[in-house]
Chain A
């Protein structure tokens, strides 16, 4: 039976999965229209990777249903594998092989003939700016190049649906921006993409729709603008360099805002939502902080970021680690949102 072309590329209903006592997914629903980018946002242990592993047929769900391009991931897993591509958190390439050999090998495993595999590899090396490194062993590549090669490998079979599990985790900012460009051009080419990330700005930049995962549940869904609208209006933020004065500054600012101020002790960053009162609130904030004799840096009014959304939705910051019921990913050492996963990037 042919599915009507308006059917979603990915459809997930009531998906559950447990590992022993840990309930990684507690009933997830998703629908991703063809040719769109879904950003799955959430901290470590939220269930993002588990969902990707089920959708790519690496893991069987305990309950619920999921289809990719109309194929059930359990009953028609072989058919699913023919229409998907997967690029995971670490570069799953063979470091002792050259970039070209890696792609040709994958091509052969997609059952392309040798000439087809060679021309497909050449095409992808060109597209991913790896032509000059094509004949070097992949172990000599930089982290960004390895990730690009890995992404190229996931495209050898011309997938209709691409799963990117934290594609920029551990990359330096420049490689990260380069990766964003690549992902944007794939999306522009009509590939349906499901992208997981811990980086709020990444979802904001790349995704048409965002779902927020927390503890195995979807806790919010919508466009970046929808989600920002949820915390209602602008945010005032500033840094208090003297840590002993952070609490005083927060207390001084509290009457101006709506709700509690948010304080990051590590960085001295204080922020508070001020609704639609924008510049009036800014003036009041200056007076209040002056009255409290608190020295601040970089006092500013800004549009809310997804960080603020996450905080408002879950009561904890997005990059907070060590959730109870966290994912058991330690065994294969896949953790390591590297050093640059420092909260605020906006």
Chain B
């Protein structure tokens, strides 16, 4: 076989899969190093949610009556964790927009690496980052009086649900980052859709305290289902099954819609 024929021949599927995995891990490693080295990223992903915990626990919390044993701190923590998972997506969108703008994606796409690794490596790194943040918040939560009251396994399920939810939001963000392709616009756009979605939900206040027209939205949007399910897993004695099923349905829809959209935006971005 000549050298040319060798180059033309596509490698076997298992070889391709192996390289795609290795490339994904290489990109993941790079992304985590970058995250670790930029103080602003650490601040927004870790310090900001901790400030939110303290703010709601000690400043606003006293004014918010809730109907769960243990008081507001018990109500709050699953909500904050859900919001933190959703906000992790800012990092996804901004990083992809930056890479696009700077030509990093062009460079990588002109190389003989797995093209998918830019996206998968981004998502894996962001998932790791998200998990670290969630664990820090749980620790801070324990310091300010929060306790899991439904056992260890459901607590783990809660963290898992939050993580999958975060990944789903990251998929939406990856699409917006690649489609908009400009760092500042991506950031502003993220605020526009993520703030209402997370604050107009059951994350911080009982929905019954909102005006009727707002309740209609808050009661029927995915963040509420996910956070209700998380709260039920963390605390027990709350309706779990319906919330869990609706969460899974919503997450499935998000993945089915936004994974292909992100892949398409990535292909077009070149």
A residues near B, CB below 8 A? 1-3, 53, 56-59, 70-71, 76, 78-79, 81-86, 88-94, 96-97, 101, 105-106, 108-111, 137, 150, 153-154, 157, 331-334
Contact = CB atoms under 8 A, between A and B. Distances in A.
Nearest to A75: B8
Contacts of A333: 101, 182
Interface of B: 2-5, 7-8, 10, 19, 22-23, 26-27, 30, 33-34, 37-38, 100-104, 106-113, 117, 181-182, 270
Given A2-B2, A96-B34, A105-B30, A86 B112 contact: no
B270 A94 contact: no
A92 B104 contact: yes
B102 A96 contact: no
B109 to A, nearest CB: 6
B4 A109 contact: no
A44 B23 CA distance: 35
Of A101, A109, A334, most B-chain CB atoms within 10 Å: A109
Contacts of B19: 111
B15 to A, nearest CB: 10
Contacts of A2: 2-5
A91 B3 CA distance: 32
Where chain B touches its partner, the secondary structure class is helix
Contacts of B38: 96
Contacts of A110: 111-113
Contacts of A83: 7
Nearest to B107: A92
B8 A105 contact: no
B38 to A, nearest CB: 6
Contacts of A90: 102-103
A127 B3 CA distance: 29
Across chains A and B, which 9 residue pairs bring their CB atoms closest together, nearest first? A92-B107, A92-B103, A2-B2, A86-B110, A58-B270, A109-B113, A79-B7, A96-B34, A81-B112
Given A58-B110, A106-B111, A331 B37 contact: no
Contact of B107 (A111, A153, A332): A153
A101 B36 CA distance: 14
Given A2-B2, A90-B103, A157 B34 contact: no
Nearest to B11: A78
A265 B139 CA distance: 69
B37 to A, nearest CB: 5
Nearest to B104: A92
Contacts of B182: 331-333
A88 B4 contact: no
Contacts of B30: 94, 97, 105
Contact of B106 (A58, A79, A101, A137): A58
Contacts of A92: 102-104, 106-107
B270 to A, nearest CB: 4
Contacts of B102: 90-92
A333 B184 CA distance: 12
Contact of A96 (B8, B33, B108, B113): B33
